[in-house]
Amino acid sequence: MRQWRESDPLIIEAGEGEFLIDAEGRRYIDGVSSLWCNIHGHRVAAIDQAIRDQLDRIAHSTLLGLTHEPAVELAARLCAIAPGDLTQVFYSDAGATATEIAFKMAVGYWYHTGQPERHTFIGLDGAYHGDTTGAMSIGYSDIFHRPFKPMTFETEFVAPGDLSALDAKLTELHGRGRGCAGVVIEPLVQGAAGMIMQPAGYLAGVQQLCREHDTLLIADEVATGFGRTGRMFACEHEAVEPDVLCLGKGLTGGYLPLAATLCTSRIAKAFEGELHEMKTLYHGHTFTGNPLACAAALASLDLFEQNDVLSEVQRKAKLMAQWLKPLNDHAGVCEVRQCGLIAGVELATAGAEDDASGAGGGTELGDFGESPSKYLRRIGYEVCNLARAYGVIIRPLGNVVILMPPLSIRDESLKQLIDVTARCIDQVTAS
């Protein structure tokens, strides 16, 4: 907090397309989509208009005991595009609330179907599911959450990419008579861990193991959803059909806070019963399913079709790979990872006493419990700070520089984003 106060915070006053504009009129490429959420750019006429039109009707009414048209229509459209047989939508307003709700849905499902002992989740090392207590428990990151560890609940963790470890853990939990409430995964890419990519086939393998061990698969697509990976949802790459799907960030095109937790009718049915059975999922947030946000989300979904966003992402992802390629050979870079329009450039931290992970180590957030200094090393920060002088806003995760532009970014801006990143890495690592 002190360092931020002592720095000169940038004040953003406006936006336009893939650009942010500061209080002095300077323009910057929004290289992280305003924290991984902007999809079609800023001030998109169709989304602005949809929000204004909704504003002319009503800004907010509750979903507790009432409903409204944008929420109903959006739920139907989400179910139609979501992978598999997801038929129910539970709205909330942040990624963390979407995941909390998913966890409560899973535990509630087992409780109401006669298996109350099933309340332990399996998560992946280095996973991130938000900053509320349940999300911290299952997406535990020592660097972010250490002071709060005593308030988290017990979760089992396995190394991402290792199917036999997951198999063994599922068997072990069943053996202990506990069973598993669900396996929670960020499909394909573990975002906050520093854009750690899973090996091909892993996600499908996780689904297979969940089916074999009769447990739920919970996919957290808060970051990967809505086109970032080149498909609408990352699960589609491996034809995976989760039992529960968490959405947030890009849901409204990155305009307004809205999140959704989707589940199958099998799960939803467990919450139906006679009044005295008290089966309702007693969970709700005041601004759940806000109409303005739902209107923005509907307009965003229209734009996906009108602008053929998914093929555009696939085309631009190839350009991105081509333009990032030279960085692979850069002495200051130990690995470049990319999936769709998501990239992480891991900077080498050579000569540092605690750099034992080596090239491609990449799992800093997951396993560097003993060396927070690694996260605090300023090299990633310095690269991103310098980029501002060249009109680019990017943000590091430790020594990983994240590039995650709005999907609408024009080719020349994408090139500029990568060129500036490379130039800043040159300058910072040379000094």
CB nearer to ligand PLP: give 35 or 239. Answer: 35
Whichever of 205 and 225 has its CB closer to ligand PLP, that residue is 225
Single out the residue of 186, 238, 243, 364 in contact with ligand PLP (rule: CB under 6 A): 186
Q: Whose Cβ is closer to ligand PLP: residue 128's or residue 323's? A: 128
Question: Interaction with ligand PLP in 356-395: which residues (CB under 6 A)?
Answer: none
Nearer to ligand PLP, 92 or 408 (CB): 92
Tell me the closest approach of the beta carbon of residue 392 to ligand PLP, in angstroms. 21
* Residue with the CB atom nearest ligand PLP in the bound state: 95
Q: Which stretch binds ligand PLP (CB under 6 A): 24-32, 217-225, 264-272, 409-417?
A: 217-225
Number of residues lying near ligand PLP (CB under 6 A): 15
Segment contacting ligand PLP by CB under 6 A, of 1-9, 114-122, 126-134, 288-296: 126-134
Residue whose CB is less far from ligand PLP, 62 or 132: 132
Residues 232-271 as x/- pattern, contact with ligand PLP by CB under 6 A: ----------------xx----------------------
Minimum distance, C-beta of residue 249 to ligand PLP, in the bound complex (Å)? 6
Residues 6 or more apart from 78 whose CB is under 8 A from it? Answer: 86, 89, 247, 260, 262
Write out the chain in H/E/C secondary structure.
CHHHHHCCCCCEEEEEECEEEECCCCEEEECCHHHHCCCCCECCHHHHHHHHHHHCCCCCCCCCCCCCHHHHHHHHHHHHHCCCCEEEEEEECCHHHHHHHHHHHHHHHHHHCCCCCCCCEEEECCCCCCCCHHHHHHCCCHHHHHHHHHHCCCCEEECCCCHHHHHHHHHHHHHCCCCCCEEEECCCEECCCCCEECCCCHHHHHHHHHHHCCCEEEEECCCCCCCCCCCCCHHHHHCCCCCEEEECHHHHCCCCCCEEEEEEHHHHHCCCCCHHHCCCCCCCCCCCCCHHHHHHHHHHHHHHHHCCHHHHHHHHHHHHHHHHHHHHHCCCEEEEEEECCEEEEEECCCCCCCCCCCCCCCCHHHHCCCCCHHHHCCHHHHHHHHHHHCCEECEEECCEEEECCCCCCCHHHHHHHHHHHHHHHHHHHHC
Closer of 122 and 420 to ligand PLP (Cβ):
122
**For ligand PLP, what does the binding mask look like between residues 95 and 114, x meaning CB under 6 A?**
xx--x---------------
Nearest residue to 299 via CA among 48, 122, 113 = 48
The only residue of 15, 84, 191, 362 in contact with ligand PLP, by rule CB under 6 A: 191
Q: Is 129 in the site for ligand PLP (CB under 6 A)?
A: yes
Whichever of 95 and 123 has its CB closer to ligand PLP, that residue is 95
Minimum distance, C-beta of residue 254 to ligand PLP, in the bound complex (Å): 11
Nearer to ligand PLP, 123 or 332 (CB): 123
Nearer to ligand PLP, 111 or 144 (CB): 144
CB of 130 to ligand PLP, least distance (A): 4
Letters for 267-306 (x = contact with ligand PLP by CB under 6 A, - = none) are: ----------------------------------------
| Least Cβ distance, residue 256 to ligand PLP (angstroms) | 12
The stretch among 75-83, 125-133, 199-207, 381-389 that binds ligand PLP (CB under 6 A) is 125-133
Name the segment binding ligand PLP (CB under 6 A); options: 63-71, 74-82, 184-192, 355-363.
184-192
Q: For the purposes of burial, counting CB atoms within 10 Å of the CB of 45, is it exposed (0-12), middle (13-18) or buried (19 or more)?
A: exposed
CA distance 18 to 53: 24
Q: Cα–Cα distance between 348 and 330 in angstroms, integer?
A: 9
Q: Binding residues for ligand PLP, per CB under 6 A?
A: 94-96, 99, 128-130, 186, 191-192, 220, 222-223, 248-249
